[in-house]
Every structure is written in C-alpha cells, then in structure tokens.
Amino acid sequence: MKRTEEDLQALWDEACEADKALRTFMDEHGIERHHLNLPVGFPLKTEITGGDRAVYDQYFKLECASGAAGRRYFYANCENNKLEKAAERKAAEMNRKAPQETA
C-alpha cells in the first residue's frame, strides 16, 4: 500500500520527536552523544548511565522508541519507492507490448 505524503510526513515528525526526546534525556543526564553510534552492550550502557537502574530503563526505552520510529519511516519510504519503480516497470512493459503504429 502506497503511503501518502501526509503519512510519510507524520512518520517523519514522529521519528524526529522520538530522537529529540532521546537527545534531550541524554543532555539532561550527561550522556555523551557519541555513544549513539557505538554498538553499545549492557556493560557500557550501565556505565554511561552511572549504574542507575531508573536512568538506564528510561534511556533504553527512549533509545528503542527512537529506533523504532526511524525504522517505521524508513520502511514506509522504501515501500513507496519500490511501488513507484514497479509501476514504472509495468508502464514500460505495457508500452513495449503495445502495437506500434506505422506511419
């Protein structure tokens, strides 16, 4: 199902809000942003959250929400691109199979 531009914009806005919430939380708790780019496992996450379970839980929740929102937008956009390319291929195939008029 092709998504409308409004649907894509809503998904984009949701992803931006989730990312903003995560980054705000990180700034409030002194978590450095370069940790977002690392393949962070449990030991490093407990270290960057200072071993505080509540901070860890909230950080993990926001990190997951941000990633999920980003993936929803990415997959919807990719699906639209696939559908557009399929429609273009179908139109090209129909044009190729159409009888050619002779002049």
Q: What is the pLDDT along the chain (103 residues), one digit of tens a residue?
A: 789 999 999 999 999 999 999 999 999 988 887 766 666 667 777 777 888 889 889 988 998 999 999 999 999 999 999 999 999 999 888 888 777 765 5
Is the overall model pTM greater than 0.85, yes or no? Answer: no
Cα–Cα distance between 48 and 37 in angstroms, integer? 14
CB 49 within 8 A of CB 31: yes
Cα–Cα distance between 100 and 103 in angstroms, integer? 10
> Any idea where the domains of the chain sit in the sequence?
5-97
